[in-house]
């Protein structure tokens, strides 16, 4: 098992990519803290893992709140004495063209996607520094290349890339790697609201001709969290079916 007895926090574990990642990690031997702002969803993911004889526990977290992020890490350390892997997956979108985008739409996306990633990274990096090991994987997006109606989302994810690369430099001497995954179109609850016609046009633009499955993103999370990726840090990996090629 590639993550045998590793302690992993996965934010946004209640659905989509986060849930797929939590399930995959548990199947590879990790003890998974299923963190989500939706407490019931986090509990459902943890229960599914335990039903499959894996190890997990749920914890409610609002990543946009620094105190909540700190409590997530403190509780993990109190129970398990260490933290080996952090997957920062929690995120939201509030799409609108710039001329129609309200300030609260901008603030909400930045506070969860960018500040939320900072909050959990800041709390998790300290024990990783002390134990001289760790894996952090943040979530960017193909939207960083620009996407109509997503100025707030694109800006937040571009910020995540800058944060990731800087943290990679600062934490390398502590043997903590920091990378980011930039998914393209993934079949998750976040994309479920795309109108059928728009989704059809999107798929036509993807060279591989389909949206990704959450499990395919989880597979890369697993690799970056494993010992096999010990020499990879500061990287942003696009998982988009070729959509960004030539963009």
What is the rounded distance in angstroms from the CA atom of residue 110 to the CA atom of residue 16? Answer: 20
What is the rounded distance in angstroms from the CA atom of residue 13 to the CA atom of residue 72? Answer: 13
In the block, residue with structure tokens 């985008």 = 101
What is the rounded distance in angstroms from the CA atom of residue 223 to the CA atom of residue 157? Answer: 21
Asked if 153 is an active-site residue, the reply is yes
What is the rounded distance in angstroms from the CA atom of residue 29 to the CA atom of residue 4? Answer: 4
Show the DSSP H helices in the chain as ranges.
16-27, 39-51, 66-80, 103-109, 116-131, 151-171, 196-205, 214-225
Phi, psi (rounded to 5 degrees) for 234: 75, 15
Q: How many CB atoms lie within 10 A of CB 195?
A: 8
Q: Which of 125, 153, 184, 186 is catalytic?
A: 153
Integer angstrom CA distances of residue 84 from 6, 51, 124, 127, 186: 6, 24, 9, 9, 27
What is the rounded distance in angstroms from the CA atom of residue 172 to the CA atom of residue 244? Answer: 29
Instruction: List active site positions.
Output: 153
């Amino acid at each position: 098992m590639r993550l045998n007895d590793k302690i992993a926090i996965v934010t946004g574990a209640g659905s989509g990519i986060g849930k797929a990642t939590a399930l995959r990690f548990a199947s590879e031997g990790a003890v998974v803290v299923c963190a989500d702002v939706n407490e019931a969803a986090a509990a459902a993911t943890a229960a599914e893992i335990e039903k499959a004889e894996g190890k997990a526990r749920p914890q409610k977290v609002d990543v946009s709140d620094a105190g909540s992020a700190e409590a997530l890490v403190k509780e993990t350390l109190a129970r398990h004495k260490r933290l080996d892997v952090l997957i920062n997956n929690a995120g939201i979108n509030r799409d609108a063209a710039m001329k129609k985008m309200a300030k609260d739409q901008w603030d909400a996306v930045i506070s969860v996607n960018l500040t939320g990633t900072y909050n959990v990274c800041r709390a998790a990096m300290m024990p990783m520094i002390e134990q001289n090991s760790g894996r952090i994987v943040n979530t960017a997006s193909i939207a960083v290349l620009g996407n109509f109606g997503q100025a707030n989302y694109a800006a937040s994810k571009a910020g995540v890339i800058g944060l990731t690369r800087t943290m990679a430099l600062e934490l390398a001497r502590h043997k903590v790697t920091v990378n980011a995954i930039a998914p393209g179109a993934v079949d998750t609850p976040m994309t479920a609201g795309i109108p059928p016609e728009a989704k059809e046009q999107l798929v036509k633009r993807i060279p591989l001709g389909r949206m990704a499955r959450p499990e395919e993103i989880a597979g890369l999370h697993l690799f970056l969290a494993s010992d096999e990726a010990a020499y990879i840090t500061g990287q942003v990996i696009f998982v988009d079916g070729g959509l960004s090629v030539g963009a």
